[in-house]
């Protein structure tokens, strides 16, 4: 898991939306100090916090986790054909949708 990349992405989107750490932390329901740690990659956010960050910043989990998901692609079982890779991708998208639905 690439926590530094995840934190950099949170920081980048937060700044693009002209939010301070304090403002984003309040909307997400965490302390500004903890958000700072997330942005630096020195602490691990829970799944609930990641979902709240995605919803608040209006980004997908795939965006925040893309560096780690990219690494996952290299660890896929060998011998998968294009159809099997597509099915696995479809499954992962469905799982992401389910996580978003749980938060609603």
| Digitized pLDDT (tens) for each residue of the chain, 104 residues in all | 889 999 999 999 999 999 999 999 999 999 999 999 999 999 999 999 999 999 999 988 888 887 776 544 445 567 777 777 777 777 777 777 777 776 55
Are 17 and 57 in contact by the 8 Å Cβ rule? The answer is: yes
pLDDT at 72: 45
Give, as one character, the DSSP assignment of residue 46.
Answer: P
pLDDT at 74: 45
**Boundaries of every domain in the chain:** 3-103
Helices (H), 2-81: 3-16, 21-28, 32-40, 47-57, 61-64, 66-74
**Domain formed by 3-103, architecture:** Orthogonal Bundle (1.10)
pLDDT at 73: 45
Measured CA to CA, the distance from residue 103 to residue 51 in angstroms comes to 7
């Amino acid at each position: 898991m690439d926590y530094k990349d995840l934190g950099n992405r949170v920081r980048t989107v937060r700044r693009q939306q002209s939010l301070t750490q304090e403002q984003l932390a309040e909307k997400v329901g965490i302390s500004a100090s903890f958000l700072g740690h997330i942005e630096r990659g020195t602490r691990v956010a829970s799944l609930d916090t990641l979902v709240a960050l995605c919803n608040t910043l209006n980004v997908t989990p795939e965006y925040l986790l893309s560096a780690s998901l990219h690494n996952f692609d290299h660890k896929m079982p060998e011998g998968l054909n294009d159809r099997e890779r597509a099915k696995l991708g479809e499954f992962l998208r469905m799982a992401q949708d389910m996580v978003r639905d749980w938060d609603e």
